[in-house]
Amino acid sequence: MSLAVDLNADLGEGAGHDEQLLTLVTSANIACGVHAGNATMMRETLLAAKERRVAVGAHPGFDDRANFGRREMSLKWDELFALVVYQLGAFQALAHSLDLPVQHVKPHGALYNMAARDERIADAVVQAVKRVSPGLMIFAPPASALSRAAEASELPVAREVFADRNYMPDGSLVPRDQPEALLHDPEEAANRVFGMLRDGKVRAIDGSEVQVQADTICVHGDTPHAVEFARELRTALHQVGVMVGPPGNV
């Protein structure tokens, strides 16, 4: 059985090791200067990704730098729509200036989690993407409101799973304020990812099994030892025969 998957990371957020991660991942979600980063950082990250032939995508988040875009916010549909259009427009313009095609959009942090479960928020995100660039792929959790909204609007979807996060029984991620939120062992993470690819399942923290579909795997770029984790994960995937490359290219 031949297995293939994309490996992505959130970059352009000032974590300090983007260059190293870009030698390991095949897709980069680049902050759009709102929850983190700025125009110069966006351009520098785009250039670095281009040099390494890593596919790029916009990573829009809430306008909340103090909480790194990880605090949930209550916004009207029009506000959410404008927030995503604004960030995606800036990102597209910078990428275009570098003759670099944009592959995807992945909401960041709280916006991602809220869009995964809330149909209204998912619709605002998807409609923003559709109005700016209707050919872009949406990175979304499997069986989420965000993936359903993208499919309904005929946007391509890459179902995303997380190598470095634990899962709740309902398929959501364990909240970051809980001690078991993060998975630190890359060998354990590789075994888990292999199981998700082979069996379409992941074990939740209560021992139950959650159905998943894995087109792309996220490794967070701002976590401690992110580079070592990504390197060991990619090596372990290679050892079990999993091909790694951008969605649609593996």
Amino acid at 136: L
Q: Say what the pTM is.
A: 0.94
Give the whole-angstrom CA distance, residue 177 versus residue 157: 29
| Residue listed under structure tokens 């991660």 | 21
What are the structural domains of the chain?
3-244 (3.20.20.370)
DSSP conformation class of 100: -
pLDDT of residue 81: 98
Single-letter amino acid, residue 98: L
Instruction: Burial-class residue 91 by CB neighbours within 10 Å (0-12, 13-18, 19+).
Output: buried
Spans in the chain with pLDDT lower than 50: 1
Spatial CB neighbours of 176, under 8 Å, sequence gap ≥ 6: 70, 182
Q: Pull the structure tokens for residue 210.
A: 């959650």
pLDDT at 175: 87
Q: Residue 205 belongs to what H/E stretch? A: none
**What size, in residues, is the chain?**
250
**Biggest alpha carbon–alpha carbon distance for the chain:** 49
pLDDT at site 109? 94
| Closest C-alpha to 61, from 48, 70, 52 | 70
Question: Can you tell me whether residue 10 is helix, strand or coil?
Answer: strand
Rg (CA), the chain: 17
Run of H or E residues at 230: helix 226-239
Buried b (16+ CB within 10 A) or exposed e, 197-236: beeeebebeeeeebebbbbbbbbbbebeebbebbbbbbeb
Distance CA 231, CA 247 (A): 19
